[in-house]
């Protein structure tokens, strides 16, 4: 079905993909494809405030004319709202968001999250057509859509293209995303490397955190990887949410002083990842950020299926035990199959990618 043109003379599309980090990144190639096909369309995106740096730079860096992925972002603080659903602040913020969206009079809304909260936001926006997956993540969400699309693709990025393509009546192919370049974040990384890498050495970036325990490869093993890479002459940085990140400190301690902890904001993590020679992580946001930035990755998988949400569009070595079973239950302990992945396997995969990256530089 073709999208109708609104009263403004431009077709206006609303994307609802609130979070989390990896999920937002997985939706972006479909939106980039839509932007490329229809640069004249106006695209809005509803997102959690913490993920705004993925869609727009807080402090833009001029690098010539470039069409942004979206024209406007709308903040939905759903995590905070869930904690205090009936507070005056929550009610005021929800009403403000709904008024904003209704004023925009979008011609099309697409729920790329498939959750009740994302479907409710799209419904309240009163878009002319509101499309979601026929089998959303939370089944009740489907009753809030005016239209439902059958999704057959396996990978999340391809699913996003299939859903958005069905909504606009066109075939969309995953398109490379140009993530925002933030001036302050770039300067922060420049200053960081003046201290930890004054000679401009290439480095491996370890992102040890995971969304839940079953996806968490042990911190001491990440530390052992850092130690071995350090002994081969490679600098190793460990991403941390804050300077008090306990997991990052466990990795650094296990590395025997070979790893340097680097606390970052999201904008700073984007700038840091752009500079990495290889990123080592589990199925988590920083891994998908590295893939979006086309950085080489070593991906350590367990209960989640890399065929569905593994690294996409970049050089990658995916490690997963044959004994691992796909299970999205949020168990606290690491999945047994993940524990079968050895330090030597991870180090070997990282060195292979580092050599390939060095070959590109020399060539």
Residue 350: burial class (beta carbons within 10 Å; 0-12, 13-18, 19+)? buried
Which tens digits make up the pLDDT trace of 209-249? 998 999 999 999 999 999 999 999 999 999 999 999 999 99
Same domain flag for 161 and 101: yes
Smallest Cα–Cα separation from 217: which of 352, 317, 321?
Answer: 321
Which CATH number fits the domain that encloses residue 32?
3.40.50.2000
What is the edge-to-edge ordering of all strands in the sheet holding 42-47?
A: 72-75, 42-47, 12-16, 108-111, 129-133, 147-149
Q: Is residue 2 part of a domain?
A: no
Q: d(Cα 131, Cα 138) in Å, to the nearest integer?
A: 15
What number is the average pLDDT over the span 315-330? Answer: 95
- Tell me the longest C-alpha to C-alpha distance in the chain: 64
Position 165 pLDDT exceeds 60: yes
Q: Which of 168, 192, 215 is the last residue of a domain?
A: 168
Model confidence at 159, pLDDT cuts 50, 70, 90, reads: very high
Share of the chain above pLDDT 70, in %: 93
Q: Which segment of 146-150, 258-262, 329-333 scores lowest on mean pLDDT?
A: 329-333
Q: Which segment of 1-5, 43-47, 328-332 scores lowest on mean pLDDT?
A: 1-5
Q: In this structure, are residues 261 and 280 in contact, taking their beta carbons and an 8 Å threshold? A: no
Q: Is residue 34 part of a domain?
A: yes
Same domain flag for 159 and 117: yes
Q: In this structure, are residues 314 and 333 in contact, taking their beta carbons and an 8 Å threshold? A: no
Same domain flag for 75 and 130: yes
Q: Is residue 177 part of a domain?
A: no
Q: Which of 142, 168, 194 is the last residue of a domain?
A: 168
Question: Quick one: pLDDT at residue 149?
Answer: 98
Label the pairing between strands 259-263 and 108-111: unpaired
Question: Quick one: pLDDT at residue 277?
Answer: 96
Which tens digits make up the pLDDT trace of 15-27? 999 999 999 999 9
Q: Is residue 173 part of a domain?
A: no
Instruction: Give the H/E segment covering residue 95.
Output: helix 88-104
Same domain flag for 197 and 78: no
Question: Quick one: pLDDT at residue 285?
Answer: 96
Domain that holds residue 334: 183-362
Sign of the C-alpha dihedral computed for residues 270, 272, 274 and 280 taken in this order: negative
**Looking at the 3D structure of the chain, how many domains does it have?**
2
Q: In this structure, are residues 303 and 284 in contact, taking their beta carbons and an 8 Å threshold? A: no
Same domain flag for 209 and 332: yes
Q: In this structure, are residues 59 and 31 in contact, taking their beta carbons and an 8 Å threshold? A: no
Label the pairing between strands 297-301 and 316-320: parallel
Position 63 pLDDT exceeds 50: no
Position 362 pLDDT exceeds 50: no
User: What DSSP string runs through 279-333?
Assistant: EEEESSHHHHHHHHTT--EEEEESSS-HHHHS--SS-EEEEE-TT--------SS
Q: Which of 168, 200, 231 is the last residue of a domain?
A: 168
Q: d(Cα 347, Cα 330) in Å, to the nearest integer?
A: 28
Tell me which of 328 and 204 has the higher pLDDT.
Answer: 204
Model confidence at 198, pLDDT cuts 50, 70, 90, reads: low
Q: d(Cα 96, Cα 363) in Å, to the nearest integer?
A: 54
Q: Is residue 1 part of a domain?
A: no
Q: In this structure, are residues 70 and 204 in contact, taking their beta carbons and an 8 Å threshold? A: no
Same domain flag for 103 and 225: no
CA atoms within 13 A on the CB side of 135: 5
Same domain flag for 205 and 136: no
Q: Is residue 6 part of a domain?
A: no
Q: In this structure, are residues 128 and 4 in contact, taking their beta carbons and an 8 Å threshold? A: yes
What's the mean pLDDT when you consider all of the chain? Answer: 93
Same domain flag for 127 and 42: yes
Provide the Cα torsion 208, 211, 213, 218; round to 10°: -10
Model confidence at 9, pLDDT cuts 50, 70, 90, reads: low
Q: Is residue 178 part of a domain?
A: no
Position 8 pLDDT exceeds 70: no
Same domain flag for 217 and 342: yes
Same domain flag for 254 and 347: yes
Count of CB atoms situated within 10 Å of the CB of 312? 18
What number is the average pLDDT over the span 78-97? Answer: 95
Q: Which segment of 56-60, 74-78, 99-103 scores lowest on mean pLDDT?
A: 56-60
SS3 244: coil
Question: Quick one: pLDDT at residue 5?
Answer: 61
């Amino acid at each position: 079905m073709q999208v109708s043109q609104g009263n403004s003379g431009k077709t206006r599309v609303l994307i609802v993909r609130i979070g989390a980090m990896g999920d937002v990144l997985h939706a972006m190639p479909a939106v980039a494809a839509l932007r490329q096909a229809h640069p004249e369309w106006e695209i809005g995106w509803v997102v959690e405030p913490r993920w705004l740096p993925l869609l727009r730079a807080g402090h833009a860096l001029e690098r010539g004319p470039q069409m942004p992925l979206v024209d406007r972002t709308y903040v939905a603080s759903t995590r905070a709202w869930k904690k205090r659903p009936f507070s005056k602040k929550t009610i005021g913020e929800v009403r403000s968001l709904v008024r904003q969206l209704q004023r925009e009079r979008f011609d099309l809304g697409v729920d790329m999250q498939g959750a009740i909260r994302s479907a409710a936001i799209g419904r309240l926006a009163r878009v002319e057509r509101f499309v979601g997956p026929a089998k959303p993540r939370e089944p009740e969400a489907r009753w809030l859509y005016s239209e439902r699309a059958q999704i057959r693709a396996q990978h999340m990025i391809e699913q996003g293209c299939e859903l958005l393509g069905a909504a606009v009546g066109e075939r969309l192919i995953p398109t490379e995303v140009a993530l925002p370049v933030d001036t302050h974040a770039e300067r922060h990384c420049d200053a960081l490397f003046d201290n930890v890498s004054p000679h401009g050495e290439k480095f491996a970036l370890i992102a040890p955190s995971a969304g839940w325990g079953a996806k968490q490869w042990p911190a001491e093993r990440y530390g052992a990887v850092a130690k071995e890479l350090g002994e081969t002459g490679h600098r190793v940085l460990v991403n941390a949410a804050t300077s008090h990140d306990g997991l990052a400190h466990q990795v650094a301690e296990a590395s025997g002083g070979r790893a340097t902890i680097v606390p970052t904001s999201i904008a700073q993590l984007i700038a840091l990842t752009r500079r990495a020679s290889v990123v080592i992580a589990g199925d988590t946001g920083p891994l998908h950020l590295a893939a979006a930035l086309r950085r080489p990755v070593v991906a350590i998988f367990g209960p989640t299926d890399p065929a569905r949400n593994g690294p996409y569009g970049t050089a990658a070595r995916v490690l997963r035990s044959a004994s691992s079973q796909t299970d999205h239950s949020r168990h606290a302990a690491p999945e047994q199959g993940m524990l079968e992945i050895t330090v030597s396997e991870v180090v070997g995969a990282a060195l292979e990618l580092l050599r390939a990256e060095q070959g590109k530089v020399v060539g």
